[in-house]
Amino acid sequence: MRAAPLLLLLACDEADPCAPMCAAAASLYGDCLRASGLDWPAAGYADRADFLDACDTWAWEQRALEEAEEASGRTDRACAAREAALTDPEATCDTFTEFDWSGPLSGS
């Protein structure tokens, strides 16, 4: 019985492939807010951590939709593509706002 808690702990230790995308989004969006003289509360978040929690929830919701639609890997692919765009040296505030963060991901 002692192995079960250890296995559960190891399963929870896997890194979410969307975490780097969420961090990149928080960095770029935070910079955009500061450049506009705004802060996280002005954008509807208590702070950066609250934004990251919302992004994690977005990824979880997308995976739930993905599973229901049998579109395996769609969320991870979208996160990888968004991370690449958000960390591109040419990324701007428009890069962040061009993504539809409220809608479901399309495609399989």
Residues 85-102: tens digit of each pLDDT:
999 999 999 999 999 888
What confidence tier does 71 reach under pLDDT thresholds 50, 70, 90? confident
Q: What is the mean pLDDT of the chain?
A: 86
CA separation for the pair 64, 103 (Å, rounded): 13
Q: Say which DSSP state 41 is in.
A: G
Helices vs. strands in the chain: H and E counts, helices first: 5, 0
* pTM, rounded to two decimals: 0.81
Residue type at 73?
A: G
Domain boundaries, the chain: 15-97
- What is the rounded end-to-end Cα distance, in angstroms, of the chain? 40
